C-alpha cells in the first residue's frame, strides 16, 4: 500500500541555519504530495503542496519539489527562524502521513 | 469562514469507560476523517466518512467506531478504554474525500481532542 517515510527527528538548528527534512514515498499512480505543519497545541495546517512531477510547492520561505524519479518530496528552507519550531508532516493524497519531524530552532 | 471544530478539547477517562468525540467540519465539506496522534506512533488514520458513509478504515480494533450525520458533523466513539488509547484525536475535513489524488485534496484539521485514560 501507499506509504510515506520521513526523516526521523528531532531536529535542532540555530536561527538562520539551512533546513532539510527528507521525505520519500511509495504509491501507485501519481499522488499529490503535501507538507503540513503542526504548531504547539494546534492541529495540522497545510504548508505547501505539489500535484505533479517537477512541481515546486512553496510557502513562507519553505520549498519542496516533487521528484518522481526518486519518489521524494524533501522540505527545505534557507534560513529558519525560532517561529518555525513545530512538527512537520509529509503526506500523500489519500490521507497517508509520515511520522512527523519535530524541529526546534534556537536563537 | 469557520474552521473545523472539535469538542471537547480535553478529557480524562478511566479504563473501561467509553468516550465520544465530536467534529464539525467546514461548511460544504462532506468528508471527515479521523486520526490518532501519539508520540510513539505518529499520526495514524482511523477512518473517513463521506456523506454519512464510512469510505475508508485504518487498522484499529472494533472498539473504535464513528458515524456522520446529515449535516456532515461526525462523532467517533471509543469503548472499553485502555491506557494505550491516551492520545490526541484529530479530525480533518475536505470537500472531495481523501481518496482523491487531486491537488485539491487538502485536509483542514481541527485543534484536536486530547484524551487521557487513567
Q: Using one digit for the tens of pLDDT, what is the confidence trace for B27-47?
A: 999 999 999 999 877 889 999
Q: How far apart are CA A101 and CA A28, in angstroms?
A: 24
Mutate which of A27, A93, A96, A100 to disrupt the B interface (most B C-beta within 10 Å)? A93
Could you give the CA distance from residue A51 to residue A55 in angstroms, rounded to a whole number?
A: 7
- Give all strands (DSSP E) within B3-58, no chain letters: 5-7, 10-13, 19-24, 31-38, 42-50, 53-57
Cα–Cα distances (Å) from A4 to A17, A22, B44, B82, B118, in that order, read 26, 10, 12, 28, 32
Residue A36's pLDDT band, with cuts at 50, 70 and 90, is very high
Q: What residue of A is the nearest CA neighbor of B89?
A: A43
Maximum Cα–Cα distance for chain A, whole Å? 43
3-state helix, strand, coil in chain A (%, to 5): 5, 50, 45
- B42 contacts on A by Cβ (under 8 Å): 97-100
**How far A52 CA lies from chain B's nearest CA (Å)?**
9
Separation CA A63–CA A20 (nearest Å)? 10
Assign B56 a pLDDT band (cuts: 50, 70, 90). Answer: confident
Chain B partners within 8 Å of A31 (Cβ): 101
Q: Which three cell numbers stand for residue B59?
A: 487498522
Measured between alpha carbons, how far is A17 from A36 in angstroms, rounded to an integer? 21
| Percent of the residues in chain A that have a pLDDT greater than 70, as a whole number | 100
| Backbone region of residue A78 per phi and psi (left: phi > 0; alpha: psi in -120 to 50; beta: other values) | alpha
Min Cα distance B82 → chain A (Å) is 23
* DSSP 8-state class, residue B59: S
Phi, psi of B100 (to 5 degrees): -75, 140
Rounded average pLDDT over B59-66: 96
Q: What would the grid cell of residue A85 be? A: 519550531
Angstroms from B111 CA to nearest CA on chain A: 4
Please, which pLDDT band fits residue A35 given cuts at 50, 70 and 90?
very high
Give the closest residue to B77 by CA, choosing from B88, B62, B87, B59.
Answer: B62
Percent of chain B residues past pLDDT 90, beyond the cut: 78
Range of weakest confidence among A53-57, A59-63, B1-5, B107-111: B1-5
Residues of A with CB under 8 A from a CB of B: 29-32, 34, 36, 41-46, 49-51, 89, 91, 93-100
B109 vs A45, A49, A100: nearest CB: A45
Amino acid at each position: 500500500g501507499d506509504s510515506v517515510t520521513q526523516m526521523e527527528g528531532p531536529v535542532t538548528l540555530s536561527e538562520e541555519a539551512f533546513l532539510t527534512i527528507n521525505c520519500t514515498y511509495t504509491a501507485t499512480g501519481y499522488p499529490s504530495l503535501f507538507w503540513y505543519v503542526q504548531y504547539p497545541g494546534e492541529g495540522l495546517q497545510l504548508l505547501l503542496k505539489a500535484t505533479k512531477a517537477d512541481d515546486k510547492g512553496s510557502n513562507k520561505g519553505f520549498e519542496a519539489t516533487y521528484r518522481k524519479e526518486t519518489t521524494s518530496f524533501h522540505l527545505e528552507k534557507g534560513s529558519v527562524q525560532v517561529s518555525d519550531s513545530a512538527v512537520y508532516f509529509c503526506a500523500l493524497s489519500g490521507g497517508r502521513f509520515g511520522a512527523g519531524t519535530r524541529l526546534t530552532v534556537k536563537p | 469562514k469557520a474552521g473545523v471544530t472539535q469538542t471537547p478539547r480535553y478529557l480524562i477517562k478511566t479504563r473501561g469507560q467509553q468516550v465520544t468525540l465530536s467534529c464539525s467540519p467546514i461548511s460544504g465539506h462532506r468528508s471527515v476523517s479521523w486520526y490518532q496522534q501519539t508520540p510513539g506512533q505518529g499520526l495514524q488514520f482511523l477512518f473517513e466518512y463521506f456523506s454519512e458513509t464510512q469510505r475508508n478504515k485504518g487498522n484499529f480494533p472494533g472498539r473504535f467506531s464513528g458515524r456522520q450525520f446529515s449535516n456532515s458533523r461526525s462523532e467517533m466513539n471509543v469503548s472499553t478504554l485502555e491506557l494505550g488509547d491516551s492520545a490526541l484525536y484529530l479530525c480533518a475535513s475536505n470537500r472531495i474525500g481523501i481518496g482523491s489524488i487531486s491537488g485539491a485534496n487538502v485536509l483542514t484539521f481541527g485543534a484536536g481532542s486530547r484524551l487521557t485514560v487513567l
